[in-house]
Structure 1
Amino acid sequence: MSFDHITFSIETGIARLTLNRPETLNALSRPLLGEMMEALDLVRDSHDVRVLVLRGEGRGFSSGADLSGGGSPAGSSGFDAGQVLEDFYNPLMERFFALPFPVIAAVHGPVVGAGCMIALAADIVLAARSAYFLQAFVNIGLIPDAGSTWWLPRLIGPGRALAMMMLGERVPAETAAGWGMINEAVEDAELENRTSALATRLAHGPTRAYGLIRQAVRQGLAQGFSQSLSLERAGQQAAGSSADFLEGVSAFREKRKPLFSGA
């Protein structure tokens, strides 16, 4: 499938989704968001994908929502600022959180607004030192969306999250790493190689276990300890019935590196 506002490919178990509106710093237009959902449906249903890498083309990851010209009816009679969330952002974020394999975000330059939350929805976030994270909503009189109010406090604590949301100030990549908001800040020249190495590692790992880990962590954030124990029990049963578990045990006993198939 060809796209106009993103680039998308699958090769050797690695899906790559790149926001591709560099002339707007990858502003999140409705057509772009729609194409992202189509691509996520493709990877969800593919038996060939074992990891997804998310990036932005050009000078930055994303400048946030596209507020330019006719793309935004803000100020018009009957305008509902929440409708775009219901139609695009909310279903997009649900798709990200439900994927059955790891997601890596490799970001640089501006990581702004809903683009910030899209990046932080990844399991592992690698940021070039040129990257900065900005919850810009308050600067135009809006509240954070795309799941920001749920996820950010869990990543960095309510105090830092509230300050980030209310002050609308940039958070540099190194600060974000120190807060635990992202996994690693690297030199810009190293971002591609670091991302490729990590994606390759995950693409050769126990994919089913990765998916079950994602599910357990996401659900565990919204439920009690006893419920998490029950979820772990069910997940362990599923992981224990996988071909990768049998391979992992065999490799351990034979003192060799496991060759996981993702099954």
Structure 2
Amino acid sequence: MTTKLLHLHIKNGVANITFNNPPVNVLSGSLMKSLKEVLHGLSNDVKVIVFDSANPDFFIAHVDINILDEQDVLNELLQTAPEGLNIFQAVGEMLRNLPQVTIVKLKGIARGGGAEFVTAADMSFASLEKGKLAQCEALMGIIPGGGATQYLPAKMTRGRALEIMLGADLFDAATAAQYGWINRALPDAEIDAFVDQLAQNIAALEEGIISTTKKVLAAGFKAENDGWAALAFTPRTAEIMKKAMENGAQTVAGELEIESLLRSIK
């Protein structure tokens, strides 16, 4: 599927969404509307969503400076935004509340609302050579308004979050990974294969594991127990455990490669 502003490709339970809003992939009202429509149209067969960019230099540059020219689109987005959220915060919360796992593959620059999109995603991996992030709103006389003030302190110390927002500098991928802003930084030549394999591994998990894990994160011990119990005593889980034992689980050789052993069980 291809729209004017993004491309969608689905294979083996993984949806790849590529932003394509020349010249620098600004986060416009139209892009947010297209993204919302595509995400809500995904079937239950999609387990993982990977976001990247058609522009080698920019993932999402920032919010479109001319966004107020799209008043009709903005009004439409505002009417459907959850109560208490602005349209930019609604994008971040939409990502966080999807039943699928969302992964950003960052090969270019993401500033402002683009950086907030990266931070809101479930996981993010950046190219060591090309991936860069900045919350530069302070230089424009404002503060971040798309979730950064809430998301960043959950990923790092308060001091580092303040450094990012008030220092307003462009962070390289290695430093962003050190701070906890992204999952990890990888050589540009390796990032595609790494993210693709991770996405396929997650998409291959048993039904219910992804959505349940996302739902119970930080929701408390009872929610964790309820989610675990709903999955732990099913016939399929019992079958996996039985086959794991038959194939070497709890032996030295089997335990050294337990992840591969479990993934081989059909």
Q: Same fold (TM over 0.5)?
A: yes
Matching of residues 105-254 of structure 1 within 5 Å: 105-129=104-128, 130-217=130-217, 219-220=218-219, 228-240=220-232, 245-254=237-246
Structure-2 separation of matches of 1:87 and 1:151? 15
Cα separation, 2, equivalents of 1:136 and 1:167 = 8
Aligned mates of 1:212, 1:243 — CA distance in 2? 18
CA displacement, residues 87-140 of structure 1 (integer Å, 9 cap, x when unaligned): 632332222111123221100121111111111222221100211110011111
| Structure 1 contact 101–207 (Cα < 8 Å) conserved | no
Equivalent position to 1:62, from 47, 52, 60 = 60
Matched position secondary structure for 1:115: helix
Q: Specify the alignment match of 2:257 in structure 1.
A: none
Question: What are the equivalent positions in structure 2 for 1:4-19 lying under 5 Å apart?
Answer: 4-19=4-19
- In 2: Cα distance, 1:14 partner to 1:260 partner: 20
Residues of 1 paired with 2:140 and 2:223: CA distance?
A: 41
Identity among equivalent pairs (%): 26
3-state SS in 2 of match to 1:72:
helix
Kindly tell me the number of residue pairs found equivalent between the two proteins. 244
- Partner of 1:257: helix, strand, or coil? helix
- Give the partner amino acid of 2:222: S
Q: Distance in 2 between matches of 1:131 and 1:27?
A: 16
Separation in 1, partners of 2:175, 2:145: 22
Once residues 205 and 35 of structure 1 are traced to their aligned partners in structure 2, the CA distance between those partners, rounded to angstroms, is 29
Residues 204, 260 of structure 1: 8 Å contact kept = no
CA distance in structure 1 between the aligned counterparts of 2:240 and 2:103, rounded to whole angstroms = 24
Cα pair 2:93 2:120 within 8 Å, conserved: no
Does the residue aligned with 1:61 lie in a helix, a strand or coil?
Answer: strand
Structure 2 CA distance for aligned equivalents of residues 242 and 260 of structure 1? 16
Q: Which residue of 2 aligns with 1:26?
A: 25
Does the Cα contact within 8 Å between 1:93 and 1:147 map onto a contact in 2? Answer: yes
Confirm or deny: 8 A CA contact 1:40 1:95 kept in the other structure: no
TM-score, with normalisation over the residues of structure 2? 0.82
Report how far residue 241 of structure 1 moved: 5.2
Per the TM alignment, residue 169 of structure 1 is displaced from its structure 2 partner at its CA by 0.7
Whether 1:72 aligns to 2:72 is no
**Is the contact between residue 92 and residue 121 of structure 2 (CA under 8 Å) also seen in structure 1?**
no
In structure 2, the gaps of 5 or more residues are: 248-260
Q: Which amino acid aligns with 1:72?
A: L
Q: Over aligned residues, Cα RMSD in angstroms? A: 2.7
Q: Contact 1:137–1:144 at 8 Å: present in 2 too? A: yes
Q: In the aligned structure 1, how far is the partner of 2:120 from the partner of 2:236?
A: 26
Tell me if the contact between 2:132 and 2:173 (Cα under 8 Å) persists in the aligned partners: yes
Deviation at 1:190?
Answer: 1.9
Task: Name the amino acid aligned to 1:54.
Answer: F
Shift of 1:174: 0.2
